[in-house]
Structure formats: structure tokens, C-alpha cells
Amino acid sequence: MAFRRLEDADVSGARVLVRVDFNVPMKDGIVSDGTRLKAALPTINALHKRGAKTILLSHFGRPKGKREPGMSLGAVMQALSVLLDTKVHFADNCIGDRARFAIDAMKDGEVLLLENTRFHPGEESNDPALARQMAALGDIFVNDAFSAAHRAHASTTGIAALLPAFAGKAMERELDHLEKALGNPQHPVLAVIGGAKVSTKIALMENLVSKVDMLCVGGGMANTFLHALGKPVGTSLCEKDYAPTALAIISAATKNDCALLLPSDVVVAKAFAANTPSQIVGLDAVADDDMILDAGPKTVAALIAAMDHAKTVIWNGPLGAIELPPFDRATNEAAKACAERTRAGKFISVAGGGDTVSALNKSGAAQDFTFISTAGGAFLEWMEGKALPGVEALKI
């Protein structure tokens, strides 16, 4: 994919509007997880070194177009200052005189954080007038918020249509890795898709079966496939109404020569609870009062064997009820195997979306994956093959 990169921009002395994602978790008014702040540091530092005036734009929470004191980005300023080891200035609006006066007072290399873009009703509707007011504050626009790239908002696509627009370092890294994983990957490609419900990932699987060589389906959504194939699922989470959808995906996989990997054995229990008595059974041995809570060892072994044939692995979602030990075992073992092979240089591995990040962190495997996206919805829409407005605006 060809898109405009930050190194292509002449930013010295320029007012650079940078769209970041500082929608961070807070506890008692303090940032409790600075992952998203840290993700923006390479771009901010690069602009600082090149003498730009760095002006940060972000949403925070869901204030629904009105000023909510509890959703002010002012609470993020101190945490960002600590990470940057420099003073971050703050303006309590992202348009108008207050923002303009704060920008006019900036020296080259300084950083200014503007107030929550969603305090304005035109942000989420991509109001052209609001976009023009934001754009008037800068000379150059940098989008470094892939996690917001699937939304056509004033602070993403609106400004990008009015100023020279470039991808920031975090956006660049995301796009480069997603291109390697799905846009122009090395084959064979293995996709591991887990999670609770088929209904939330229909478009994802429909897209993947036409692009990957192997598709592993796990988690609660696998139960719907098993039910569609006439296998007993007991009291397991299962969207029986989606059985025709599951059969259509199976048919599409066959048509596209995509090997579909479904559970061959499962771990069952009588109750949805941690450390409840459980057993490993074959697919025909699931009792009426059994609940499938994890993939069995044969299934995990088959998935690891598939990894040994892969050059690219894409991962989204857990293989079992990872919040309830020991039903996190399949996810942990498969993730560790993926990490080991990545570390050995056998393939690249890209993961993201939903609870995938926490699952891989819990397994201890996350640090060895080639790339893990924290983008959630944008990552899933990319995997579904959808055009992301924030990315389209950066293409050459």
C-alpha cells in the first residue's frame, strides 16, 4: 500500500496537527494504562527533533457532543508529560480563540494537547465546518490513530481533506504489518479466529476464506459450526440460528481451497466456573448437560501442525473461555507455540482485535509476536476487507 509517511513531510517550524488516540482507561482521575500514550511517543519525538509545533487532537469517552468535565483530556496531560520528560501544554478547546492563542504561544519543538474533540457535536458526524475550524489551527495533518481510522470523523478524514496529510509512526507501523499479514502476505497464510459468537465475525470469515490458506475456528463460535455439522453441543454457547451461515462458510472454504480447522476434541464441564471438574471428550461424546469450554489437546496439536506449514499467521480471539482456568489452556499452548515459531523466524505473526491482546498477554506470548494491534474495531474491519476512511485519506 502506498501512503504518505511522516518522513515525507517538511515539518520544521510548522504547526502539525496530530490525531492520536488518548482514549485511555482512568481510575480516580489518573491514567491506569498508558499503552496508547506510549504508542504516540515515536511520532511526537520525531516531530520534536525536527522542530515542529506538535498539536495533539484526540477523543476521550462518549460525551455526545457536549462538554463533560469528567471527560476532559486535561487529566491525560500529566501522564504524557512524564512519558515525554517534557512539559505538555494544554488548551481547553480544540477550536477557536483558546486553541489559537495557545498555539501562537508555542515555540518550535513544543507539545500542546487540545481538549476532547467529541465535546463538539460535529466531530462524529464529520461536520465540514468543524473540520475547517480544526484545520485552520495547523499547516500539516498527521494521523497516528489507526484505532479511529474506521470512523469518518472531523478530526480524522475531515481535516485530512483540507491539509497535507501523512501517516504517523504508529499508523505507519500498523499499516505496514497489516499489509504483510493480509494485503500482500507470504503464503501459506493461517488465520486463527476465536471468540464467543459467529454473528459478530461473519464478514471477517467470509473475507478470510477467500484470502488465506488455512482457517482455524475456535472459541464459542466453533460450537455453532459443530452444531451445523450435526455434532452435539449440550448446553454450550451456540448460535443455532446461524447454522446455515456456518455451512455457507464451510462451503466457501472448500470452494476457495482453504483448509478449515475445527475442533476434533473438546474440554467440557457441567458449569461455567473456574476450576470446575472437566474432561476431554470426542465430538460425539458431548452429553446433553455438558458445556464446551475449551479446545482439546488433539485440536491444539492440529493447529500447531498447521503453523508448521505457515509463512504468515493472523490471530484474532481466544480458543476457549480464557477467563476461567483451566479453560485457557488451549489458547495459552497455541499462543506459546506461535510465539516460539515467530521467534525462530519461521513466519510473521500479527494479532489484534477484541480481547486478543489480553489473551496473548496472559499467555506470556505477546512479546514474541511480530506485531500486536490494539486497535480493536479498526483491526477487525481491516480483516473484513473494508476500506477504512482514515487510511484512505492518506493514500497516494
Instruction: Check: CB of residue 168 under 8 Å from CB of residue 142.
Output: yes
- The pLDDT assigned to 33 comes to 87
How is residue 54 written as a grid cell? Answer: 506538535
Give whole-number Cα distances, 290 to 175, 208, 237, in Å.
43, 31, 11
- The pLDDT assigned to 154 comes to 98
Strand ranges inside 308-376, DSSP E: 312-316, 348-352, 371-373
- The pLDDT assigned to 354 comes to 66
Nearest to 328 by CA among 317, 338, 339: 317
- The pLDDT assigned to 358 comes to 81
Instruction: Check: CB of residue 181 under 8 Å from CB of residue 350.
Output: yes
> Which residues are tagged catalytic?
36, 197, 354, 377
How is residue 28 written as a grid cell? Answer: 480516580
Name 184's Cβ contacts closer than 8 Å, sequence gap at least 6. Answer: none
CA 71, CA 61: separation in Å to the nearest integer? 6
Q: What is the pLDDT along the chain (396 residues), one digit of tens a residue?
A: 799 999 999 999 999 999 999 999 998 889 998 889 999 999 999 999 999 999 999 999 999 999 999 999 999 999 999 999 999 999 999 999 999 999 999 999 999 999 999 999 999 999 999 999 999 999 999 999 999 999 999 999 999 999 999 999 999 999 999 999 988 999 999 999 998 999 989 999 999 999 999 999 999 999 999 999 999 999 999 999 999 999 999 999 999 999 999 999 999 999 999 999 999 999 999 999 999 999 999 999 999 999 999 999 999 999 999 999 999 999 999 999 999 999 999 999 999 876 788 888 888 899 999 999 988 889 989 989 999 999 999 998
- Catalogue all structural domains in the chain, each as residue range(s) with its CATH number: 6-172 (3.40.50.1260), 185-383 (3.40.50.1260)
- The pLDDT assigned to 376 comes to 81
* 171-215 pLDDT tens trace: 999 999 999 998 899 999 999 999 899 998 999 999 999 999 999
- The pLDDT assigned to 359 comes to 86
* 53-84 pLDDT tens trace: 999 999 999 999 999 999 999 999 999 999 99
- The pLDDT assigned to 375 comes to 85
Question: Which DSSP symbol is given to 185?
Answer: P
| Strand-strand pairing, 88-91 and 111-114 | parallel
Nearest to 56 by CA among 17, 84, 92: 17
Residue identified by cell 460450537 is: 223
- The pLDDT assigned to 151 comes to 93
Strand ranges inside 179-318, DSSP E: 189-193, 214-217, 259-261, 265-269, 278-282, 291-295, 312-316
pTM across the whole model: 0.89
